[in-house]
Amino acid sequence: MKKKGTLPRIGFLGTGWIGRHRMQAICQSKEAEIAAIADISGENAREAAKLAPGAAVVDSLDALLEMELDAVVIATPSASHCSQAVRALEGGLAVFCQKPLGRSAQEAQAVVNAARAANRLLCVDFSYRFTSGIQKVYQLVNSGDLGEVYAADLVFHNAYGPDKAWFYDAELSGGGCLMDLGSHLVDLALWFFDFPEVRSVSSSIFSAGKRLKGYSGKVEDYAVVSMVLANGKSIRLACSWNVSAGRDAVIESSFYGTAGGASFKNVNGSCYDFVAERFRGTASETIAEPPDDWGGRAAVAWARKLRLEGRCFDESADQLVQVAAVIDAAYGR
């Protein structure tokens, strides 16, 4: 295991596009050593090995657990996240997992329980928190510059649905666009207001234009969710796959206060380029704009925490269960 003065040794489980992207970010940060790669796809593993030439290439989580690692990054399909994270934590490893942590609040709670019992660091890749634009808006909301912020509208419409078949199987994915895209919105909304108690959740969920009533087990492609927080703040969320949006994506998070507003939104349909603006009545001021290389910052922040503070459990992991519980409530389950 890690000796004093050495970098944390990290293994990667799943090295598709997003896994490799997070690996590259950690490599460039020099916050940790990429010591091992595991993927059932030989092609993915070979591509990942180009980023970390000294890493051992193995074929399973079992093999990673037999190595002297400090942590693992999990970037596999959603159905595996809970069981793989629990096994890694019980094996003494800190975990950084792609969202969702689990397909339900029950699964998310099982992972957090395992992290607490093992006293191991657990984080999820809610990457939009780390964009420059969101950081600037967060500062405005929480500094009091916007007065009393009482409402938020968050949107994530993707004109192209996922390209992997498992996303469309509710048993494997846990849900459709709300699980895939809406989880980011729920996390942002609760994070901005310091994760207060959620008083109520209501939703309208659709599949191919037809409203789903109750938890049907079908995978939705459009969802609208309303949340009222215990402090009275109102939040509206909307997300979709394959919507006719006139562009590749519509991504926006807007916050309204008694002394002004602020908004974070994508540029020209991009999923990567964002601007942030501050509003005073009808006037607006740009406070952040591209370029912003934000995609791997959550992974790097986790690796840095691992290096500086060690593998110990962080109580903020309980917030992951709250996000999952809101999504469960929106699904009516």
Assess whether pLDDT exceeds 70 at residue 5. no
Mean pLDDT lowest among 86-100, 210-224, 228-242: 210-224
Fold of 9-127+296-316: Rossmann fold (3.40.50)
Residues 242 and 161: beta-carbon distance below 8 Å = yes
- What is the spatial distance between Cα 210 and Cα 302, in angstroms, rounded to a whole number? 41
Q: Which pLDDT score, from 0 to 100, does residue 6 have?
A: 83
Assess whether pLDDT exceeds 90 at residue 101. yes
Confidence of residue 80 (pLDDT cuts 50, 70, 90): very high
Assess whether pLDDT exceeds 90 at residue 112. yes
Nearest to 86 by CA among 59, 57, 106: 106
In the chain, residues under CATH classification 3.40.50.720 are 9-127+296-316
Q: How many H-runs (helices) and E-runs (strands) does the chain carry? A: 11, 15
Q: Which pLDDT score, from 0 to 100, does residue 3 have?
A: 52
Which H helix or E strand runs over 309? helix 297-309
Confidence of residue 312 (pLDDT cuts 50, 70, 90): very high
Assess whether pLDDT exceeds 90 at residue 333. no
Assess whether pLDDT exceeds 70 at residue 151. yes
Determine the average pLDDT of the residues in 2-31. Answer: 90
Tens digit of each residue's pLDDT (9 = 90 or more) over 254-301: 999 999 999 999 999 999 999 999 999 999 999 999 999 999 999 999
Walk across the sheet containing 94-97 and list its strands.
Answer: 56-58, 33-38, 9-13, 71-74, 94-97, 122-124
Determine the average pLDDT of the residues in 309-331. Answer: 97
Q: Which amino acid is at 98?
A: Q
Q: Which pLDDT score, from 0 to 100, does residue 325 have?
A: 98
Nearest to 239 by CA among 128, 94, 98, 86: 128
Q: Which pLDDT score, from 0 to 100, does residue 217 have?
A: 75
Residues 9 and 94: beta-carbon distance below 8 Å = no
Assess whether pLDDT exceeds 80 at residue 216. no
Nearest to 8 by CA among 128, 82, 136, 95: 95
Tell me the average pLDDT of the chain. Answer: 96
Tell me how far CA of residue 34 lies from CA of 28, 168, 247, in angstroms: 11, 32, 37
- What is the spatial distance between Cα 121 and Cα 115, in angstroms, rounded to a whole number? 7
Walk across the sheet containing 260-266 and list its strands.
Answer: 210-212, 198-207, 222-229, 234-241, 149-158, 249-257, 260-266, 274-280, 283-288
Q: Is the pTM of this model over 0.85?
A: yes
Q: Which pLDDT score, from 0 to 100, does residue 256 have?
A: 98
Determine the average pLDDT of the residues in 102-112. Answer: 98
Assess whether pLDDT exceeds 80 at residue 33. yes
In the chain, residues under CATH classification 3.30.360.10 are 132-293
Correct CATH for 132-293 of 3.40.50.150, 3.40.640.10, 3.30.70.270, 3.30.360.10: 3.30.360.10
Residues 77 and 166: beta-carbon distance below 8 Å = yes
Confidence of residue 218 (pLDDT cuts 50, 70, 90): confident
